[in-house]
Amino acid sequence: MELSGPPYLGAAYYPEDWPLDQIDDDIALMLEAGMNVMRVGEFAWSRMEPREGEYDFEWLHLVIEKLGQAGIPTILGTPTCTPPAWLAERYPEILVMSDQGRRAGHGGRRHACPNSPVYREHCARIVTRMAEEFGHDPRVIGWQIDNELFPAGPRGCCCPVCHAKFQEAMRERFGTIEALNEAWGTHLWSQAYQDFRQLPIPRTDVRHHPSLLTAWMCFQSDSYIEFAHAQAEILHRLATQPVGTDMMPTGALNYHQMHRKLDVVQFNHYNSPENLGQAAFWMDLCRPIKEAPFWNTETSTCWNGGVTANGYKPSGFCRANSWLPIALGAEANLYWLWRAHWSGQELMHGSVISSCGRPLHIFGEVREVARGFRAAADFLNGTRVARPKVALHFSGFAWWLFEHQPMVNGFRYLDQLLDGFYRPLLQAQIGVDVIDPAASLEPYTVVCSPFLPALDEAGLRERLLPWLEAGGTWIAGPLTDIRTLDATKYRHAPYGSLEEWAGVTCRYQIPGEPQSFALRWRDRSISGGSVWYDGLEPHHAEAVATYADGPLKGLAGVTCTPVGKGQLLLLGTLPRGEEVREMVLGAGGYRAAEATPNLLVVPREGPGGRGLIVLDLGNQAGMLTLPQPATDLLTGRRHEGRIEVAPYGVMVLRY
Amino acid sequence: MELSGPPYLGAAYYPEDWPLDQIDDDIALMLEAGMNVMRVGEFAWSRMEPREGEYDFEWLHLVIEKLGQAGIPTILGTPTCTPPAWLAERYPEILVMSDQGRRAGHGGRRHACPNSPVYREHCARIVTRMAEEFGHDPRVIGWQIDNELFPAGPRGCCCPVCHAKFQEAMRERFGTIEALNEAWGTHLWSQAYQDFRQLPIPRTDVRHHPSLLTAWMCFQSDSYIEFAHAQAEILHRLATQPVGTDMMPTGALNYHQMHRKLDVVQFNHYNSPENLGQAAFWMDLCRPIKEAPFWNTETSTCWNGGVTANGYKPSGFCRANSWLPIALGAEANLYWLWRAHWSGQELMHGSVISSCGRPLHIFGEVREVARGFRAAADFLNGTRVARPKVALHFSGFAWWLFEHQPMVNGFRYLDQLLDGFYRPLLQAQIGVDVIDPAASLEPYTVVCSPFLPALDEAGLRERLLPWLEAGGTWIAGPLTDIRTLDATKYRHAPYGSLEEWAGVTCRYQIPGEPQSFALRWRDRSISGGSVWYDGLEPHHAEAVATYADGPLKGLAGVTCTPVGKGQLLLLGTLPRGEEVREMVLGAGGYRAAEATPNLLVVPREGPGGRGLIVLDLGNQAGMLTLPQPATDLLTGRRHEGRIEVAPYGVMVLRY
Amino acid sequence: MELSGPPYLGAAYYPEDWPLDQIDDDIALMLEAGMNVMRVGEFAWSRMEPREGEYDFEWLHLVIEKLGQAGIPTILGTPTCTPPAWLAERYPEILVMSDQGRRAGHGGRRHACPNSPVYREHCARIVTRMAEEFGHDPRVIGWQIDNELFPAGPRGCCCPVCHAKFQEAMRERFGTIEALNEAWGTHLWSQAYQDFRQLPIPRTDVRHHPSLLTAWMCFQSDSYIEFAHAQAEILHRLATQPVGTDMMPTGALNYHQMHRKLDVVQFNHYNSPENLGQAAFWMDLCRPIKEAPFWNTETSTCWNGGVTANGYKPSGFCRANSWLPIALGAEANLYWLWRAHWSGQELMHGSVISSCGRPLHIFGEVREVARGFRAAADFLNGTRVARPKVALHFSGFAWWLFEHQPMVNGFRYLDQLLDGFYRPLLQAQIGVDVIDPAASLEPYTVVCSPFLPALDEAGLRERLLPWLEAGGTWIAGPLTDIRTLDATKYRHAPYGSLEEWAGVTCRYQIPGEPQSFALRWRDRSISGGSVWYDGLEPHHAEAVATYADGPLKGLAGVTCTPVGKGQLLLLGTLPRGEEVREMVLGAGGYRAAEATPNLLVVPREGPGGRGLIVLDLGNQAGMLTLPQPATDLLTGRRHEGRIEVAPYGVMVLRY
């Protein structure tokens, strides 16, 4: 049988924990469900190398072969997330050390140090062996490196190897300890170091310097990325298939940096009915990283779970949740997991079939999704998400900086970005690319950079002015351009460049807690700011909104400054979503369609035609006005004008 | 003066911390209060063996003698809960080790390892010496081993001795490490072990396998039981009095297993006015363990307390709380404590007299209770609680399994058992024995087994069918027969045997959180299920209730299957208390009397006559319809028909 | 330019972290703000001694000189709170050890052990060097030792040095271990020690004896006091200026004991708008310690902050908060801090000017305060707060005793003292000295001693009767005279002396949780008690209030007993604030003026005249009836009769 191609609907499959003679039954059910890809191997190190240096891939060849015979290709995971017992026993120095100096132990996962040379060597060996075995197998269509890489615990790994490597990294960055002291301002509290060897691990039980904390956590992020890249180098050398690593929705690892040496963006999410919008955010982040479509490597069918089942999800959720990544640019959606575990730490997690091999109640929804993928396959494969005009910056550096220096009580970077910017645009059907500071600005008409403290990331400061002068609209602030890459303030002004660029003086700064202040807009309307308040005196700028009360009364809260053919909108505070949306629309953002806020509407275009994918994210009916007549490829029905979308409904509309 | 006999009213007495010449004053007040038993010695190791190998029992002989002269017998405690300073100093290896590797220290209690050979040896020595001194003293009427045995901390003792002993226990259980790997499914996450020596302590900071966690905690429970049995063996050899150990209300130690080698069940409880019903549950559990009446060894008079006084209890509470164990089958109720401490960790605990020797405000209630015990003594001694027709399973294994694998968010085994089954029966005056899976089913007409995951405990699976076929009604589920003794799922079906026995197929399983689904009953009434939802297809069963909405709509939620002369009621979900009660009543359970829900009504019978003990548990008046005229032995008044019971009122009604 | 004198308005200044050529700009702004004192040096050890034994004071001389040239005197801090990196690296034994046995690390502050001989030696050296450099500099007007001394963590420092020193302290206190065992009642739980070397560190993970815990924490307090006194001894020997240490509002260090060897009370507070009344409490505590005016060494201008800005404070707060200490007896108010930090753990804290040297929005309020200080300077310098007639006991020993033995659920010593006594008096404009048990009673007509468990502190028991007999009114209880200095109960009676002195018998004692009981007063009014209930039988006393319900019904809750020319009011429970206030007023307390409860009214008198300082503490307008016509020195306006005070308004009214 011929191997299936995209769009892929699949699941994680763990044959290592079941009798091999069960594979045929599993495959029969997979075909019944409409699955056309399986993800295998990610935790199976102890089955691949049961004793040091003894390898057994026979079972895995069998699985891949049987799947392949049924037309189902395999995505192979490297099993390095779960070192076998013999490895932890013989080389305890590979185990992650907590900031309290305690080594982790065998029994969970993600407990090995990414910088441990011994661990690295064992990882290289098993990955090499896997690549030799499967690197040219046509039934294997891709590689997943490790699983959900992430700094463990509050400080990542704090072992002596990591400690020394961090000190060395700081020596490379600063050259002399005096330079570090100057950059971090360590003369306060007599924190100044005489030698890089004095740089401590920033333990949780010591009140440490935010510059140290930020540098340490970025180093941790770098370490995991370096760890993944080491595997990627082997796979690129020995295997032909594309390589990625399945990542969780978090800013704690830098996605952009990670994917510089990888081929396919892989993404795991377990968002709940309440925050499907957050899943959309991450997919809008995954899509622009690479030109190739991304893979949604994990999501749940009906509930998440470890030793409890974490919340039943209502009917229809599986449908909308499965289509969401496809709509936003993925070519694969895989469930976690195919068959529920019969033991272990995750035995209560939702799946496609139960541990006794029976279809779950969502089996029908899965089949419906599979049928839909097939019905719309040509359109999906022949089109891409139309490139948005609007970009929104998201920074891993900002994540760590705000984590250890939140500036205002209750400030959480991701939540503020979602609530303040992303959701207002999503709910107005305004397409957005969520981009890293290192990404090019060229494709965009409007770039939003709220809460982007360090403009010196990836040379963004230098790239902004030319882009502005060429006609871009930059919406900056609040809390933007206020920190160096060392997590310190500027000393000449509250901002690095914003006063100069915007032609304003920031007179006063006030945290937005516990009190908020009102803004009066140019149309005389009044609405509250939030989060933070910079009071601006415009010199070469226009006041777009002015404080109506409080100590900033009469100062501008939002200004607009022409820059060449472009303009800079400076936010001294975070306005309401309505105003953010109006600014974006006024500057060239556009709505994909008029629709109720619960609907996600994604324009697609390409050789396969043009059209829209429409999804309800809120388990409620929605209304959409079609810009032109279109056919729903899932039903074959023709639609025009104002149409209704059912709760958790999906439409693939080709004009 | 002759020694008193049961029913006993007494208290814990700590003469080791007071001038010995105060004993006479204490005894005078004891007699005034009506006390006729004292519990002495439980923490006094440092007074009995002030230096290693030097013993001093003179003071204790004096205490026992003086009490005896006043007619007050003594219950003697072994002091092993509180090793002296010299023991911890000289043999630090006896100290409990936390799961984080830290040894406990001198200063509290329960800080010695139950498996430590050195500690065991010192315990054996002091117990031997005590038995030699007092084992034939007629004024000593019983022994209490140690005090409130319980695994310390979240993982019990994690010292090297315990660790090695656990590994050895697993080796004995499984024979080969491969067998353990197969049984626990350790190939997931590469957890497989190559040797029993690799089995780790399940630290709290590692996400461990639930099979390991369950096995570890059951091993801890076993260790404490073995520890107690070692003392029992000495006492049985050298002393003539009955032996027990005072236990707290918890499922963390297996009561049934503990009492296999003990003579008298001893029970400590500190329940508050809000949950006297929970105290009743534990007494319904204590009673059936032995044929002999149990001893309520500790309860508070008016408030609990350590370094704070934990909550004043209203007037009358002491009365009802003191009678509760007697009503449910005890022959002794002892307060903690006689005289309030003047120092130390518990100096704020309520008592009978204050630390300066003054009666507390509840002294009058205590005397009233004592007078009542004497007035009803013949009836109490001449009757037993009438054996209930209904049994409710409670399992220590289930306790630990659910602790580490709760299955549904928020599921707490004891709370669910109380709210879902025990209280609805209690409030309908339906008598219940709470039994261990190892207990015989023969005495019962109806057996309820909700949340009993492992039917293989104590061979229950084999004993159920014959009992059913002989005419029993078994109410099983939800969450029953779903796990092996290794805390894993069955792989052939959701249940071990229930599908086969009930003649049903379980189509779907859905956790009962955050959403609940409705059931339609045979009488067309609609009510909600809870906790968990199994959707059943009846083949050889009748649908008693059918899901009215949701993904299980049309499937049965409750079925009834005839089995020989008996029947199996399978609960796929937890119905409301009303329906549970109706099922029990429909199957042969009976109400001791018609009464308002706040009343506990306990039928008694025996050579001493027949009658009822009635108690209000809710501090409110209640109404009771007497099945036949009766005399209240506490007042001498004759009652018939519908009568009122005062708030926290007690009546001992002999027909 | 001549150096400024009091009243002082100033700030903390950290030139060690800024380019030295910035000093002139800073000084220009200081003068603009009206600042006339700066606090310098407290954390700058690494700038003063960059390498062991190498000193650099040049920069500090320059700072003091430049400030002095502008007329601004300097308060110098010793930098011992923040040892340099080389010190912690070379002598790790100086680092604080947690109760879990873990050493602190370089990076925060307050991480050195106060008892470490090595640390003490290094501290002595740097303080000696500073004293030699600046001890005779006329521009330096005072010394601050270290910063915010306080036992670190839940148990202070638990290093071997502290452990051994504690054991030695107990040996000195008790002589023999038997005496300690007797005093603490360690025969309970076999806690008795055979040797002082067995006395353990009271780890948080062991349930320790409250006598041990209280002794340990008092030892910690003593250690920090001894540490400060060692520096004071050096400064007194080598320098001419007055010496103090800036303390935080807490009972964990004994203020009275600390200041026995210091010259000027220094006080830091960061109270919020919600609890300015609590700040007033601490100032009423600081004032009576010394005859000299105290210094308010730290307070925030507009928000507190570490890595977040902790809450914006409304307009006017800075004014009222700056005047508060001056009104209550300070001669200096200093902000923390002058210029916001540009890096580090506290970079978000409010200040006078921003890190880029711009005035904050409260700059105008600061200048207004400065102008006010100057306008009222003669009056402020020429008067003192009129000595109150009323004293309220506050005890550091009680703090620790209640911390480890709260007696009633939810009891917090400071909160109860504030809510039950201090605020009712404050809000009625009744002046109070908050005094240590060691303070003389002579100056007072009424002394209130609620929650004062140990009358044996500083021989208070012996001093009370003569003072009472001479005419004083003592309001004692609840929870007074109920514990020995060993944190144990008396054994002969509930109180040490109160039954005897008051001529009552305490029949019953009941904790005031969860239920409260009502009192009937002599005027037949009914109101509830709280916290605790002693039921009293008056013999030679009059019942002032009698329990109206509950088990104490008919017993007295408050009694009054004449003692010589004085009287003892014994509180068995805590009445409402109204009744407390009436008792105080009835016994000789007086209101400074009739005013609304939001106003603080402080009478002043001295060579500079007589008058009142009036402040609103609640951000609301208030009304005041002037006892006689007066001139507001801040406005020059003449007032009489009933006048209004604006929200956060301040008036300095000279008759």
- A308/B207 touch (CB, cutoff 8 Å), yes or no: no
Contact status, residue C525 vs residue C531, Cβ threshold 8 Å: no
- A475 within domain boundaries: yes
Task: Determine which helix (DSSP H) or strand (DSSP E) holds C622, and give its type and residue range.
Answer: strand C622-625
- A88 within domain boundaries: no
C173-205 tens-digit pLDDT = 999 999 999 999 999 999 999 999 999 999 999
Residues 6+ apart with CB under 8 A from A495: A480, A481, A482, A506
Which residue in chain A has the smallest CA separation from C147?
Answer: A189
Tokens coding B77: 């405690």
- A508/C361 touch (CB, cutoff 8 Å), yes or no: yes
Please check whether residues A346 and A412 belong to one and the same domain. no
Model confidence at B393, in pLDDT bands (50, 70, 90)? very high
Does residue B91 sit in helix, strand or coil? coil
Average pLDDT, chain C: 97
Task: Determine which helix (DSSP H) or strand (DSSP E) holds B545, and give its type and residue range.
Answer: strand B542-547
Given the DSSP bridges, would you call strands B37-40 and B74-77 parallel, antiparallel or unpaired? parallel
Give CA–CA dist A256/A265, Å, rounded.
10
Residue indicated by tokens 């400071």: C414
Please check whether residues A548 and A520 belong to one and the same domain. yes
Q: Which residues on chain C are in Cβ contact (under 8 Å) with B306?
A: 207
Contact status, residue B134 vs residue B64, Cβ threshold 8 Å: yes
Please check whether residues C558 and C614 belong to one and the same domain. no
At residue C655, the pLDDT reads 96
Q: How far is CA A77 from CA A295, A390, B300, in A?
A: 14, 35, 60
State the smallest CA–CA distance between residue B49 and chain C in angstroms. Answer: 10
Taking 80 as the threshold, does the pLDDT of residue C222 lie above it? Answer: yes
Please check whether residues A494 and A608 belong to one and the same domain. no
At residue B168, the pLDDT reads 98
Which residue in chain B has the smallest CA separation from C408?
Answer: B308
* Disruptive mutation site among A89, A343, A362 for chain B (greatest number of B CBs within 10 Å): A343
pTM: 0.97
C75-105 tens-digit pLDDT = 999 999 999 999 999 999 999 999 999 999 9
- B602 within domain boundaries: yes
- Of A558, A573, A588, which closes a domain? A588
Contact status, residue C223 vs residue C157, Cβ threshold 8 Å: yes
Give CA–CA dist A526/A510, Å, rounded.
19
Contact status, residue A143 vs residue A75, Cβ threshold 8 Å: yes
Which residue in chain A has the smallest CA separation from B186?
Answer: A344
Tokens coding A327: 């709509």
Please check whether residues A514 and A537 belong to one and the same domain. yes
Task: Determine which helix (DSSP H) or strand (DSSP E) holds A543, and give its type and residue range.
Answer: strand A542-547
Give CA–CA dist C203/C180, Å, rounded.
20
Tokens coding B507: 């189509």
Q: Residue A203, exposed/middle/buried by CB under 10 A (0-12, 13-18, 19+)?
A: buried
Q: Looking at B16, B49, B133, B298, which residue is catalytic?
A: B298
For B619, phi then psi, to 5°, come to 55, 45
- B129 within domain boundaries: no
CA-wise closest residue to A520 among A474, A587, A575: A575
Task: Concatenate the DSSP letters of all residues of A291-333 into one string.
Answer: SSPEEEEE--SS-EESSEEE----TTHHHHHHHHHHHTTEEEE
Q: Which residues on chain C are in Cβ contact (under 8 Å) with A509?
A: 354
At residue B291, the pLDDT reads 85
Phi-psi region of A175 (alpha: psi -120 to 50; beta: other; left: phi over 0): left
At residue B97, the pLDDT reads 98
Phi-psi region of A107 (alpha: psi -120 to 50; beta: other; left: phi over 0): left
Tokens coding A560: 């607009």
Share of chain B above pLDDT 90, in %: 98
- A107/B202 touch (CB, cutoff 8 Å), yes or no: yes
At residue A525, the pLDDT reads 96
Give CA–CA dist C516/C563, Å, rounded.
31
- A339 within domain boundaries: yes
- A552/C361 touch (CB, cutoff 8 Å), yes or no: yes
* Complete edge-to-edge strand list for the sheet that includes strand A594-595: A594-595, A622-625, A642-645
Give CA–CA dist B372/A455, Å, rounded.
83
Identify the CATH number of the domain in which residue C52 sits: 3.20.20.80
Taking 90 as the threshold, does the pLDDT of residue C152 lie above it? Answer: no
Q: C11-47 as b/e, with b when 16 or more CB fall inside 10 Å?
A: bbbbbbbbeeeebeebbebbeebbbbbbbbbbbbbbb
Please check whether residues B209 and B303 belong to one and the same domain. no
**Alpha helices in A495-561, H assignment, sequence order:** 498-502
Please check whether residues C584 and C435 belong to one and the same domain. yes
Q: Which residues on chain B are in Cβ contact (under 8 Å) with A158?
A: none
Which residues of chain A fall short of a pLDDT of 50? none
Q: B84: which strand partners? A: none
- A132 within domain boundaries: no
- Of B536, B553, B588, which closes a domain? B588
- A343 within domain boundaries: yes
Give CA–CA dist A397/A404, Å, rounded.
11
Give the B window 302-331 contacts with C, CB below 8 Å: 303, 306-312, 314-315
Model confidence at C34, in pLDDT bands (50, 70, 90)? very high
CA atoms within 13 A on the CB side of C621: 4
Q: Treating both helix axes as pointing N-terminal to C-terminal, what angle do C210-238 and C396-404 enclose, rounded to 10 degrees?
A: 150
State the smallest CA–CA distance between residue B13 and chain C in angstroms. Answer: 11
- B9 within domain boundaries: yes
* Disruptive mutation site among B100, B190, B216, B516 for chain A (greatest number of A CBs within 10 Å): B190
Give mean pLDDT, residues B354-370. 98
Handedness of CA A44, A45, A49, A55 (dihedral sign): positive
Please check whether residues B180 and B324 belong to one and the same domain. no
C637-654 tens-digit pLDDT = 999 999 999 999 999 999
Model confidence at B152, in pLDDT bands (50, 70, 90)? confident
Candidates C210, C491, C508; nearest CB to B307: C210
Q: How far is CA A270 from CA A301, A308, A434, B408, in A?
A: 9, 15, 20, 17
Say whether residue B83 is in contact with chain C using an 8 A CB cutoff.
Answer: yes
- A190/C14 touch (CB, cutoff 8 Å), yes or no: no
Read off the DSSP letter of residue C217: H
Please check whether residues A497 and A627 belong to one and the same domain. no
At residue C552, the pLDDT reads 98
Which residue in chain C has the smallest CA separation from B316?
Answer: C551
Active site residue B582: no
Give CA–CA dist A15/A61, Å, rounded.
12
Give the C window 192-211 contacts with A, CB below 8 Å: none
C594-627 tens-digit pLDDT = 999 999 999 999 999 999 999 999 999 999 999 9
Give the start-end residues of each E strand in C489-582.
504-511, 518-521, 526-528, 532-538, 542-547, 556-563, 566-571
Q: Residue C176, exposed/middle/buried by CB under 10 A (0-12, 13-18, 19+)?
A: exposed
Give mean pLDDT, residues B281-306. 96
Contact status, residue B303 vs residue B311, Cβ threshold 8 Å: yes
Please count the other Cβ atoms lying within 10 Å of the Cβ belonging to residue B59: 15
Distance, C-alpha B327 to centroid of its chain: 16
Q: Looking at B32, B132, B148, B542, which residue is catalytic?
A: B148
At residue A1, the pLDDT reads 74
C37-76 tens-digit pLDDT = 999 999 999 999 999 999 999 999 999 999 999 999 999 9
Average pLDDT, chain B: 97
Domain count for chain A, please give it: 4
Which residue in chain B has the smallest CA separation from A273?
Answer: B514
Tokens coding C578: 């109204």
B406-427 tens-digit pLDDT = 999 999 999 999 999 999 999 9
Residue type, B75: I
Pairwise pLDDT comparison (C152 vs C266), residue with the higher score: C266
| Residue numbers of the domain that contains A47 | 1-72+265-375
Give mean pLDDT, residues C121-143. 98
Contact status, residue C565 vs residue C366, Cβ threshold 8 Å: no
Please check whether residues A449 and A366 belong to one and the same domain. no
Please check whether residues A447 and A412 belong to one and the same domain. yes
Please check whether residues B186 and B46 belong to one and the same domain. no
Q: Which residues on chain B are in Cβ contact (under 8 Å) with C177?
A: none
Identify the CATH number of the domain in which residue C472 sits: 3.40.50.880
Active site residue A148: yes
C270-281 tens-digit pLDDT = 999 988 999 999
